[in-house]
Structure 1
Amino acid sequence: MLLELTIKNFAIIENVTISFEDGLTVLTGETGAGKSIIIDAIGQLIGGRGSADFVRHQSKRAEIEGVFSTSNAVDKELQHLFTELDIPIDEDGTVLLRREITSQGKSICRINGKLTTLGILRQIGQTLVDIHGQHEHQRLLQQDQHIQFLDRFAGKSMEKAKLEYHHVYKDYMQKKKQMKQFSENEQELAQRLDLLRYQYEEISGAELSPGEDTELIEEKKILENSEQLYSSARGAYDALYGDGKGLEWVMTAMHQVEDAAKVDDNLQELKESVANQYFLLEEASFSLRDYFEQISFDSERLNEIEGRLSEVQQLKRKYGSTVDEILEYASRIEEEMDTLSNREQRMEKWQEELNALHKDLMIEANHLSDLRRNAAVKLEKQISQQLKSLYMKDTVFNVVFEKQSTTQSDGGITKEGIDRVSFQVATNKGEPLKSLAKTASGGEISRLILALKSILSKHEGVTSLIFDEVDTGVSGRVAQAIAEKIHGISRSSQVLCITHLPQVAAMADTHLFISKTAQKNRTVTHVNPLTEKEKTEEISRMISGVEITDLTRQHAEELIVQASRMK
């Protein structure tokens, strides 16, 4: 639910912080006071399309911040989203959304303090809040969303069945895509096979060895620097070996230490250390001699290496940055050549696999369809009961199923199965069924939406429902029925409602009054929670208009008492 909303420099609102409670909160006030602007701000907070026009005149940016507490119904879904999007999660389940809109129309979005995109803000926000206005065709009026509502209504069994279906559907579509790519163009495949054969023969003909390029480069380096290597190794040998050279002096030291150790046993370890160093140096000098004696400048071998490296470099330009990468590429194209060469056999095998997957997919799809049809019967019954309580007893509500086109080879299977689902109504006897979006009367739309929300709000996975004047076009006993229905929805979800109906206002658990004043030649919007006495005065104003009489106050008090009894 929405706990607190802060709005700064948004339209005519300078700075407002509103605390919200559970249950039904109504917002009332004179036309133009800013009621719908508050709802617009919430819409921006959950990812609505932004505009510089929302920024208060002479301000650099508008700021909207909302604090939400999540319910058990959506904790799992939100936690999954937050983990997937790498957004920090508060232990107490609090979600903080923040959006800033600059005077240039740019948006800065944050979720729990982390900078994020508008798309992610919308994805999270629409999980928390559902805004429905009288003239807005929200998800309930979008036919392609009806199947999702029905599936939510169907509950856990549908959720499990859809997971199984989507797993098979993913494998099926991957195999189908693979076959399509493989069989799409015969000429391209033949050209591809010729190219691969040429490349493979070129690489094979080079008879490359793993790491060959590295070894050749090292050998070339030695050959090019053979004179320097000879001079350095010979110089090191001469410094160690010969009359009066390093080894002779080390030997003298070794003998001196040996003589001293004969007198003092404490020098035995040092004697052995000096002796070991002598023999190590002697061995090193012999190694240096062997090294420089085998050094020779072989111009023929150098030319041979340079030629081989040039050949390898040509292959590197085409197939990889190292010999090892070239050999890996050759291995891959050899496998692809085998696949292309045995195309018919491979296609037959894949077709068998695809047929098996299609068979499994149809089993899962038919299971989904059965679950949906069973759920549809229950939903139709419950909606009919809701409509009767809203004085629409002659209205017929149907969940209409249409099979996807079966002319396709796969039977018209989609990500959602084999069904197309639409909610259709006939509001008067003798009229044909029509889609919700084509239901003309505003009052009828209001009642249909409320009936649907009453049933589906428990399955939609949102913490807050917002109704922006959905009670327009009704009065009398219908208005009272709508008031009771809205309050009924608020028992399972937090409901915020802008209303002009005194019957709805009387049912409020919290009543917020929106007003505006002029300060320093600027309009300022105020939001004040009403006491019981103030609530009576406001409902009286809603009943009578400008002039409030004792009779209208009495009527307002009766509505409040009646609402208390109903609650």
Structure 2
Amino acid sequence: MLEELRIENFALIDSINIRFSRGLNILTGETGAGKSIIVGALGAILGDKADTGVIRSHADEARISGVLLVDHNPDALAWLSEHDIVPEEGTVIVRRVIRRNGRGSVFLQDSQIPRATLQEFTSLLFDMHGQHEHQSLLQVDQHRKLLDSFAGIENQVSQLASNFSELTRLRREYDSMNQAEREQLRELDFLNHAIEEIDAAHLKPGEEESLQEELEIISQAEKIYSHLEEFSRLSSESRGGAIAYLRKARDELSFLTGIVQKLEPLLGRFESAFLEMEDIIESVRAYNDEVQFSPGRLDEIEQRLMQIRRLEKKYGDSIEEVLQYREDSAAKINSIDSWQERKEEMEQQLSELNRKIGQIARSVSESRRQVAGNLKAAVEERIRPLGMQKAVFSVQVEPRTGENGKTVCGPSGTDQVEFLIAPNQGEPLKPLRTIASGGELSRLMLAIKTVLSEADQIDSLIFDEIDTGIGGEVGLALGEQLSLLAERKQILCITHLASVAVRADNHIVVTKEIEDGRTITHTRSLSEDERVTEIARMLSGDPVGAASISHARELIGKYPPKAGLKRSESG
């Protein structure tokens, strides 16, 4: 439950602090005093979006904080434990900072959290019924959600929706794979042909350069042969050849070293150079013996180069690129093969998901049909005192059908749920959205909220002007319903009806004043005498007369507070 709410620099509010009690907390005040501003601040600490426009003029930021009692709510305590947040003396503090630059902050026990996480947490503690929320009863899908809440099957329906979403995604992927299958098969044929063609060529890295060099040599065969012959003649050991002259020169130098000893090192160097020359000449001669200028080899090389270049034109600019294309093609084939495997896996997943969805949908549908009558009876029981004594309420659960008339399953199952009502005796049941008035919708929503609250662990219900469109005896009955509900829950209710306000366990008035040329909203919990004056104002308006004061005292005397009044700090 909400123990305390502090608001700073929020719309017309400079700084206020409101303390709430258990039981029925009533907020009243003249139109425009700022009651809706307080509701907006409440929404902010519950995780609603907050626009920078709510920041009070001349301020850089607005701050809202709330002290929440959680020690009697197992769901909230489990959530806090799961998120490593520890309550202090059974309470946690929620803080919300709204800055002009749009960079707001949300804190839970000084841990900064996303706004959506705050919403997730506070939804375990609070249920807010806004001014126009009863209009949601005009939306048929809301009927299904309310029935599911009454049946306690929200988790099942959430799982069903999650599975259905996954089924939709898989179907889309599967259909896309089927559409691409023909193209994949064509690509598979092309890739297999490419690999066969490349493998048949037996390409080797560097082969093209080697063949090109050999081709260059063959094309200048006569010139090469001529120079090799001349080299052999000039370097031969026969008379006039280089080796013969060098050998003779070596003999002369050897003779000289016998006379001039300091020439011996030069002889050693000459011997080494002579041996190197002999080796070089021998290698050139060996190459001369190896070289064969065959016209058939020239044709062979040209054919091979043509084959290589044909493959390069199709698969790459070099042998290395062609070979890489071959590896990439093999990888693609493996990918296509795994694609086929993925398709088979997907078919199994689709089958399993369809089975799960069908199983959950059947269970959900059975639960809805079982509790529909219970919800009907419970709502009728609670709308009787609210001026709808003869009204008949019904929860219609029918199969959702497609164009072919067959039952189809959607994210929420196979059912179409709709609330029907006959407001007056003897009238046929008709869809709620077609005949209910605003006042009837408000009373129905209160009845439904009351019924649902009996089954959940939510601690606090917030009603913002649920009494719109009603008054008189119905207003008295509404006050009684809220008072009964407040025996089990904390109720925060903004009302303009004195018949509701007199039931308050804690009555808070919202006022608006001009201070230093600025409009400021204040709040305070009312004393006994102040409460009489406020009820009198609500009964007759300003100025308050003796008759309205007397009437107010009489009404308040009939309904003494159960939980005791709690005084808030003045804002």
Q: TM-score range by the shorter chain?
A: 0.5 to 0.7
Deviation string, structure 1 residues 147-195 (Cα, Å, up to 9, x no partner)? 232222113xx46865886797688667645533432333343356458
Report the equivalent of 2:174: 179
Matches within 5 A, 1:27-426: 27-70=27-70, 72-73=72-73, 75-76=74-75, 79-80=78-79, 83=82, 88-90=85-87, 94-136=91-133, 142-155=139-152, 158=153, 176=171, 179-191=174-186, 193=188, 336-339=335-338, 354-355=350-351, 358-359=354-355, 361-406=357-402, 412-426=408-422
Report the equivalent of 1:508: 504
Give the number of equivalent residue pairs: 449
TM-score, normalisation: structure 1: 0.68
Indicate the SS of the match to 1:6: strand
Q: Structure 1 residue 470: deviation in Å? A: 1.5
Mapped partners of 2:197, 2:64: distance in 1: 65
Deviation string, structure 1 residues 91-122 (Cα, Å, up to 9, x no partner)? 65534322222235553323332333333334
Mapped partners of 1:438, 1:460: distance in 2: 30
2:535 to 539, 542, 549: 539
Q: Structure 1 residue 203: deviation in Å? A: 12
Structure 1 alignment gaps of length 5 or more: 208-309, 320-325
Report the equivalent of 1:528: 524
Contact 2:505 2:561 (C-alpha < 8 Å) held by counterparts: no
Mapped partners of 1:431, 1:316: distance in 2: 84
Letter matched to residue 182 of structure 1 = M
Going from structure 1 to structure 2, the CA distance change for 1:391 and 1:21 (only over 3 Å counts) comes to: same
Indicate the SS of the match to 2:360: helix
Matches within 5 A, 1:449-488: 449-459=445-455, 462-488=458-484
Contact 2:390 2:424 (C-alpha < 8 Å) held by counterparts: yes
Mapped partners of 2:322, 2:126: distance in 1: 60
Indicate the SS of the match to 1:184: helix
Going from structure 1 to structure 2, the CA distance change for 1:162 and 1:482 (only over 3 Å counts) comes to: same
Contact 1:99 1:107 (C-alpha < 8 Å) held by counterparts: yes
TM-score, normalisation: structure 2: 0.67
Mapped partners of 2:496, 2:181: distance in 1: 69
Mapped partners of 2:22, 2:194: distance in 1: 71
Going from structure 1 to structure 2, the CA distance change for 1:547 and 1:314 (only over 3 Å counts) comes to: same
2:438 to 437, 442, 459: 442
Q: Structure 1 residue 453: deviation in Å? A: 1.3
Q: Structure 1 residue 385: deviation in Å? A: 0.9
Going from structure 1 to structure 2, the CA distance change for 1:371 and 1:440 (only over 3 Å counts) comes to: closer
Mapped partners of 1:520, 1:417: distance in 2: 60
Contact 1:458 1:493 (C-alpha < 8 Å) held by counterparts: no
Indicate the SS of the match to 2:499: helix
Indicate the SS of the match to 1:401: strand
Indicate the SS of the match to 2:175: helix
Mapped partners of 1:371, 1:204: distance in 2: 66
Report the equivalent of 1:23: 23
Q: Structure 1 residue 452: deviation in Å? A: 1.2
Mapped partners of 2:546, 2:487: distance in 1: 33
Going from structure 1 to structure 2, the CA distance change for 1:564 and 1:353 (only over 3 Å counts) comes to: same
Letter matched to residue 420 of structure 1 = Q
Q: Structure 1 residue 451: deviation in Å? A: 1.0
Indicate the SS of the match to 1:470: coil
Going from structure 1 to structure 2, the CA distance change for 1:501 and 1:334 (only over 3 Å counts) comes to: same
Going from structure 1 to structure 2, the CA distance change for 1:137 and 1:193 (only over 3 Å counts) comes to: farther
Runs (4+) of structure 1 exceeding 6 A deviation are 198-207, 310-319
Structure 2 alignment gaps of length 5 or more: 203-316, 564-571
Letter matched to residue 336 of structure 2 = M
Indicate the SS of the match to 2:21: coil
Letter matched to residue 184 of structure 1 = Q
Letter matched to residue 178 of structure 2 = S
Mapped partners of 2:72, 2:187: distance in 1: 56
Two-structure CA RMSD over aligned residues (Å): 4.1
Contact 1:161 1:364 (C-alpha < 8 Å) held by counterparts: yes
Mapped partners of 1:384, 1:78: distance in 2: 34
Structure number with bigger Rg = 2
Indicate the SS of the match to 1:428: coil
Contact 1:99 1:109 (C-alpha < 8 Å) held by counterparts: yes
Mapped partners of 1:505, 1:12: distance in 2: 24
Q: Structure 1 residue 28: deviation in Å? A: 1.3
Going from structure 1 to structure 2, the CA distance change for 1:138 and 1:88 (only over 3 Å counts) comes to: farther
Of stretches 513-522 and 179-188 in structure 1, the one that deviates more from structure 2 is 179-188
Going from structure 1 to structure 2, the CA distance change for 1:374 and 1:49 (only over 3 Å counts) comes to: same
Q: Identity of aligned pairs, percent?
A: 36
Mapped partners of 2:426, 2:44: distance in 1: 43
Contact 1:109 1:117 (C-alpha < 8 Å) held by counterparts: yes
Going from structure 1 to structure 2, the CA distance change for 1:342 and 1:356 (only over 3 Å counts) comes to: closer
Contact 1:134 1:468 (C-alpha < 8 Å) held by counterparts: yes
